[in-house]
Amino acid sequence: MERCHISSHQQREEVMFDPCLLVMQPRNIEPALKSYKKSFDIPMVFFKAFTEPQVTLQLNKYIKEHDYTHYIIIGDDAIVTRQAAETVLQYTESDKCDVFTGWMNMHIENDGSFSNESTVNQNRIGCKDPSWGPAREEYGSWVTMEQMRKITPQLVRTSYANFALTGMTKEMWEKYPISCWPRGNSSDHHLSLRLQNEGVKVWTHPNAFIRHLRKGWAPLPDHWLVGNVPPEIIEWQN
């Protein structure tokens, strides 16, 4: 995909849309990783076996040292479809969105059904204790899965950039580098709060749904790599 702009000399120049997918991978969840490789035809980088504080530093370093035009970040516990990937790429490239993110079911219930809540949030989010990070109630209420299903396909505002295919330009990622709260968690909330407080709008779209594999409110306990194998960064291309 390409787009054009007029330079200061009024000459038309081609500008490549050259995105890269960055995967935070503390676990080895094969169905998720296979879906990323199947659904995207762009370069990918897997940040394998890093703790969250470590991976935020490595992500920022990689973005600074490489010249992709846009970076899209995802965790390691979601199933991505081709439709979601194409929607994320479309709107990450678009000038309509400073920040575009996919969205997910909050978790999976014990019976295998989706949670009632999605990860789309249209409240102002907060953090009363910056030394600790957000309490669950500080997110407010979430848009339900049913509400998202009924929305006519169009851009939807959300206050939560939850690393479910969250895309921005290289310049935006450098302006808003990824960081955790002091206890080493919730880097997605930390970014979302900074974007909100500076008036940066985050958008999603009904077609950018990806399936979250998380069961209940606890992270998936299986397949942990952190502490079991040395951290490494793996670059991959279809």
Parallel, antiparallel or unpaired: strands 78-79 and 209-212:
antiparallel
What are the chain's domains? 15-236 (3.90.550.10)
Give the model's pLDDT for residue 220.
Answer: 57
CA distance 92 to 95: 8
Share of the chain above pLDDT 70, in %: 91
Q: How far apart, in Å, are the Cα atoms of 103 and each of 83, 85, 207?
A: 13, 12, 9
* Best CA proximity match to 209, nearest among 72, 86, 43, 45: 86
Strands (E), the chain: 2-6, 12-16, 19-25, 44-48, 70-74, 78-79, 99-101, 103-104, 156-158, 164-169, 202-204, 209-212, 232-236
* Best CA proximity match to 202, nearest among 213, 212, 194, 214: 194
* Best CA proximity match to 69, nearest among 162, 164, 173, 187: 173
217 or 178, higher pLDDT:
178
Give the model's pLDDT for residue 134.
Answer: 80
pTM metric for this prediction: 0.90
Most confident of 48-57, 131-140, 146-155, 178-187: 48-57
Structure tokens at 134: 């957000």
Give the model's pLDDT for residue 12.
Answer: 30
Give the model's pLDDT for residue 222.
Answer: 64
Q: pLDDT by residue (tens digit) across 60-111?
A: 999 999 999 999 999 999 999 999 999 999 999 998 999 999 999 998 888 8
Q: pLDDT by residue (tens digit) across 116-134?
A: 999 999 999 888 888 887 8
* Residue 52 scores a pLDDT above 50: yes
